[in-house]
Amino acid sequence: MSDDPADPRERSYRRIRKFYEISAEREWGRLEQPTDGRLEFAVNKAWIHRYLPPPPARVLDIGGGPGRYSIGLAEQGYRVTLADLSPDLLDVARGKSAEAGAELQDIVEVNATDLSRFGDASFDAVLCMGPLYHLIDENDRIRVVQELLRVLTPGGRAFVAFLNRMQTLRVAVNQDIPFFTPYTFENIRKYHDEGILDWPIPGTFNLAYLYFPKDITPFMESAGITTLELICSQSNLADVQKHLALFEERQPELIEWVMAAAIEQANEPSILGSGFHVLYIGEKP
């Protein structure tokens, strides 16, 4: 990675670091918010555990940020290395893992496009739950997948999260947050037509690349990985998360059944476009 501030790639990395510097603690809490990340976290965890090898398998959580997935896996006996581009998120992870008494094998600052500090076939599973969100250049995204495959053992499993471009129009016309105005038209058109969210407001989620669900499997398989599953991380409940939280409060005896049903149907092809995140699960041949 170049240190030249004029390098477009380095400028983009600095923007990403700045965002997570501002929102480091918020990112830890996001995955327990009833109307934001809690559903995503529950669905992803369930499907990850279906395909993870048993502990004490070696797991690389690249782009794992504050360590939500890493800490849970370490508590179950997995040997987890947490890596991220943001030193601020890693500081949160150190504190949270100490609070939980969960021992991580390592916590390191690493760019997902360059995993050279890790040897070939050094992990039994890799979680990549965020890096592909922020890489605008396709060559960088390809490089990440190549690196994931390199560090995986044969038969190792990869869990890779994508942002869903099917959601762009729904976000754009949401009048709770008036995102789409005559003054932002060019930004919105780029967001929808090219899959690039470039919203230059500090503290907002910006500089992101989004995929149509139909393009994810071909992209991953072009790197040589074998597809096992493609799931919608919010199943078909993305638009009713507020009601899901109220349902849990008012009818707690039924919430377990609802969540089990939502998790079970998360790989139904007809709902892949209905959530904000898509999780790809693949295997190294």
pLDDT in tens, 81-121: 999 988 889 999 999 999 999 999 999 999 999 999 999 99
On whether residue 268 sits in a domain, the answer given is yes
Residues 69 and 143 in one domain: yes
199-211: per-residue pLDDT in tens?
766 556 667 899 9
Q: What is the mean pLDDT of residues 172-189?
A: 75
Phi, psi of 62 (to 5 degrees): -90, 130
Whether residue 176 sits in one domain with residue 151 = no
Whether residue 156 is contained in a domain is answered as yes
Does the pLDDT at position 146 exceed 90?
yes
User: Phi-psi region for residue 203, left (φ > 0), alpha (ψ -120 to 50) or beta?
Assistant: left
Structure confidence at residue 181 (pLDDT) = 73
On the question of pLDDT at 1 being above 50, the answer is no
Q: How many domains does the chain have?
A: 2
Q: Which amino acid is at 135?
A: L
Same domain, 265 and 178: no
Where residue 96 sits, what CATH number does that domain have? 3.40.50.150
φ/ψ (deg, to 5) at 196 = -110, 120
What confidence score (pLDDT) does residue 206 get?
Answer: 67
